């Protein structure tokens, strides 16, 4: 009987330990599955915004902070969306839309090999202090570029951009693969726990040393010459990242930026929200713009 009781106690103890291990492992498995599902998704949308109390950010930044600029930041957002279409990259589509201090309408789309762009130029100029005469000068003239300054859609052929033969184009596939590898490495070495008050909320804790190491590994893998820029590692401190997963899908992520400011209080978070995007279509009536004679940023990878 004693042997049976001892055996039962051992089994119960082992079962309890196994249950604790599974409980600790379960949120990490859920996160890994959600991340893989997002990576495999044919289309997705991401909105980046800043949340929290603007006064907390002003207080943390001290004399370097401008309260008006900080409030504009909290009133702005950027949304990136992509649609992989079918096999291969020929039918890939993407878009980037921005709301700037509450003013929507700035957008770039990449559809069927062409770039489409528009922005409420006059309204933005007025918001940031341009005079009526300066705004009128922006939108008047009659050239194809003036359609953009008038807030209309324009189309641009990326092949017309001046090419700098000395600067190789980035390998986007490799960059995505290396970024995925770095995220996986950070996850494997991080502590992942579920919020007891919200079962959709996962709390990830890693460290500045691990994040610095993966940032260096990623940058060096994508462009070896960047390795020289990583010199002195920062002091090792914990980094906490908040994630939300609903029905197996990653829906949001937040990083409290004030955790990096010594003595800061409150919460100001960079928040990324994940959503299903609207169809990305070529806008009708876009004015064709020839930029072959101008030095402009390379936007084909947007």
Q: What is the mean pLDDT of residues 123-127?
A: 89
Q: Which of 94-103, 110-119, 161-170, 288-297 has the lowest mean pLDDT?
A: 161-170
Distances (CA, A) of 166 to 163, 169, 207, 224: 9, 10, 37, 16
Single pTM value for the model: 0.78
Q: What is the mean pLDDT of residues 219-240?
A: 86
**% residues pLDDT > 90 (the chain):** 40
pLDDT score of 300 more than 60:
no
211's tokens: 């994040």
pLDDT score of 172 more than 70:
no
pLDDT the model gives residue 12: 37
pLDDT the model gives residue 301: 41
Across the chain, what does the average pLDDT equal?
81
Q: What is the mean pLDDT of residues 114-135?
A: 87
Confidence of residue 158 (pLDDT cuts 50, 70, 90): confident
- Which of 1-5, 226-230, 261-265, 289-293 has the highest mean predicted lDDT (pLDDT)? 261-265
pLDDT the model gives residue 56: 93
**Model confidence pLDDT, tens digit, residues 236-270:** 899 999 999 999 999 999 999 999 888 888 999 99
pLDDT score of 59 more than 50:
yes
pLDDT the model gives residue 127: 87
Q: What is the mean pLDDT of residues 19-40?
A: 72
Q: Are 101 and 87 in contact (CB under 8 A)?
A: no
pLDDT the model gives residue 111: 95
What single string gives the DSSP state of each residue in the chain?
-HHHHHHHHHHHHHHHHHHHHHHHHHHHHHHHHHHHHHHH-SEEEEEEEEEE-HHHHHHHHGGG--HHHHHHHHT-EEEEEEE--SSSSTT-EEEEEEEETTEEEEEEEEETTEEEEE--HHHHHHHTT--HHHHHHHH-S-STHHHHHTT--EEE-GGGSPP-TTSPPP-HHHHHHHHHHHHHHHHHTSEEEEETTEEEEEEEEEEHHHHHHHHHHHHHHH-GGGGGG--SPPPP-EEEEEEEEETTEEEEEEEEGGGGSTT--S-EEEEEEEEPPPP--PPTTPEEE--TTS-----TT-
């Amino acid at each position: 009987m004693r042997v049976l009781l001892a055996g039962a106690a051992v089994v119960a103890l082992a079962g309890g330990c196994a249950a604790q291990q599974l409980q600790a492992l379960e949120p990490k498995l859920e996160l890994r599955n959600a991340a893989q599902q997002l990576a495999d998704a044919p289309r997705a949308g991401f909105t980046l915004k800043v949340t929290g109390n603007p006064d907390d950010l002003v207080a943390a930044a001290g004399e370097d902070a401008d309260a008006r600029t900080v409030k504009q930041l909290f009133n702005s957002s950027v949304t990136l969306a992509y649609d992989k279409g079918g096999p291969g990259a020929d039918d890939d589509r993407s878009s980037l839309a921005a709301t700037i201090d509450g003013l929507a309408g700035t957008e770039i789309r990449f559809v069927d090999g062409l770039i489409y762009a528009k922005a409420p130029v006059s309204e933005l100029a007025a918001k940031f202090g341009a005079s009526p005469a300066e705004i009128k000068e922006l939108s008047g003239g009659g050239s194809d570029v003036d359609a953009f300054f008038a807030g209309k859609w324009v189309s641009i052929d990326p092949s017309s951009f001046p090419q700098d033969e000395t600067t190789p184009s980035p390998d986007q596939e490799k960059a995505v693969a290396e970024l995925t590898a770095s995220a996986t490495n950070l996850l494997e070495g991080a502590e992942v726990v579920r919020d007891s008050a919200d079962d959709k909320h996962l709390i990830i804790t890693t460290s500045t040393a691990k994040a610095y190491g993966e940032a260096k590994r990623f940058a060096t893998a994508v462009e070896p010459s960047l390795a020289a820029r990583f010199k002195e590692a920062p002091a090792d401190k914990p980094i906490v990242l908040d994630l939300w997963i609903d029905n197996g899908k990653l829906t949001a992520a937040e990083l409290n930026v004030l955790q990096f400011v010594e003595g800061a209080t409150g919460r100001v978070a960079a928040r990324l929200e994940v959503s299903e995007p609207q169809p990305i279509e070529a806008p009708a009536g876009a004015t064709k713009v020839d930029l072959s004679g101008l030095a402009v940023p390379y936007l084909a990878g947007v």
